[in-house]
Every structure is written in structure tokens, then in C-alpha cells.
Amino acid sequence: MEELNRYQKAALVSNTKRREKALKQYNDTPNICKYCEEPIAVGDNQKVSEVRKKVFCNHSCSAKYHNLINRVEKKIKEPKIKTKKFEYILLYTKKELFDKHENYFRFRAMIRKHAHYVFNINNEDKKCKICGYTNHVEVCHIKSVSSFDDNSLIKEINSIDNLVGLCPNHHWEFDNNKIIL
């Protein structure tokens, strides 16, 4: 092993003195673990400045602390109140819903989905009102959506009295004024 020159020896002594001074200062006012409330120890190859940043002495204390906090927060949280699907849409007017969905296709899709929902929760027969076909039934508006003015509420447009189940053929015929309900 090569011998250290005097500059290397001086640097080693200086570094050792700085570390001892830093350790002494740290041990006077050490960081305390948030969970176990024990002083956080400085390892042999660890910088004191790195230990000063720590809040927990190890990963185990950190996990236990955060699990405890999460359990307490979950108990404090108010239970969510379940609302019926599409309940928020009932008080919108036709214009407000159109403005909310930005374009005609999204607006029509929302009207259609809500109409299906209303039709299904009212336990209407899933068959064509005209021919009794049951394999594929479409929900149809008796009074068209376009005939309602902009201030009409969605609950008026999609009321069960304005909805009827029709097979695709009769739906097309109804929309094109070939049949009257």
C-alpha cells in the first residue's frame, strides 16, 4: 500500500474533523422519527446533510405512519350519496344540454342514452308496440326532440309518456311519417 503524501494526510484529517463536528452538532439536535419518535441515526457511510432531510428512521416506520393516517382519513370522510344514473340531467333545458356537450352528435347521444335509461327503469315491454317484435327494440320519441323548444326540460322530452319501443322497421316508418301512433 502506498503511503499518503502530506497533502492527502492533511485532507483526510480535515475531513475527519469536519465529520466529527457535523456528527456532534447532529447528535445535539437529531431529527426525530414521526412514527416511533426515536432519533434518526446517521450511518457510517451516510452524510449528515442527507439524514437531516429524513422524517422517518426507516421504510417500516414510514409505511406504518402513512397507513395509520390513511385509515383515520377514511373514517372521517363522509360517505358518498349515491344518485340515480342521469339524475343530474333532468333539470337541464334542451339548450343547456346542447351547450354543455358542444356539438349536435354528443347532445343527441346523451338524449338517446337518457331515453333508453328512462324506458328501461319504467319496466316497459321490450317489444315493438306495433308488431310485437322482441329481438331488437329501439326507443323512439313520439314527439320528436327537434319539435321541443330550447327551454324545454330534458325530463319533458324524455318522459315515459313521450317514449315508445319500436322495431327498426317501424321506427324508420314512424320517423318518415309512413305510420302514425
Distance CA 65, CA 56 (A): 9
Q: Spell out the per-residue pLDDT of the chain, length 181, in tens.
A: 457 677 777 777 788 888 888 889 888 888 899 889 889 989 888 888 898 899 999 999 988 888 887 776 666 555 555 556 777 788 889 988 888 887 889 888 999 999 998 898 887 788 999 999 999 999 999 999 989 999 999 989 999 999 999 999 999 999 999 998 8
- The pLDDT of residue 90: 82
- The pLDDT of residue 83: 56
3-class DSSP assignment, residue 3: coil
Residues 6+ apart with CB under 8 A from 38: 32, 57
Where helices occur in the chain by DSSP H, the ranges are 6-28, 48-52, 59-76, 94-101, 104-121, 154-157, 168-175
With beta carbons less than 8 A apart as the criterion, state whether 170 and 128 touch: yes
C-alpha cell at position 12: 483526510
Residue count (the chain): 181
- The pLDDT of residue 101: 82
**Domain parsing of the chain, residue ranges:** 6-76, 87-175
* pTM reported for the whole predicted model: 0.53
